[in-house]
Structure 1
Amino acid sequence: MRSDTHLLLHRLRIAEPPLHAPEFPFVTPRPGLRTRLGWALVELGLRILPRPPVRRLTTSTAA
């Protein structure tokens, strides 16, 4: 499909009014399974990553 035809179809689809209005517009829809799984994998990856060692401040007492 040519790019100009593709963009024209997108513009036409966006210009159309939605077929139905949501019952509760103030409630956000629950994310899909792929989204939840993706974020779970990101969280798991961040937990697995090795963390740099914590440098502790040492105080030396000069006598």
Structure 2
Amino acid sequence: MLIIPVKEGENIDRALKRYKRKFDRTGTMRKLRDGQHFTKPSVARRSQVQKAQYIQHLRDQEEI
């Protein structure tokens, strides 16, 4: 359970933004979406490797 203390006189939009950021970092929605369908371990590993290669490619391009 997330607890967001709201200080006196604090804007509710600011507190809501803090809540959303904290909720995002917990990864709850990501876990729920991932649990909706089964992915084979080999497919998950392959997508993870492809993502790492893509990020490495971007970093290499940035250095040039």
After TM superposition, the score normalised by the length of structure 2 is 0.33
Normalized per residue, which structure has more helix?
A: 2
Structure possessing the higher relative contact order (Cα contacts under 8 Å, 6 or more residues apart)? 2
After TM superposition, the score normalised by the length of structure 1 is 0.34
CA radius of gyration, larger in: 1
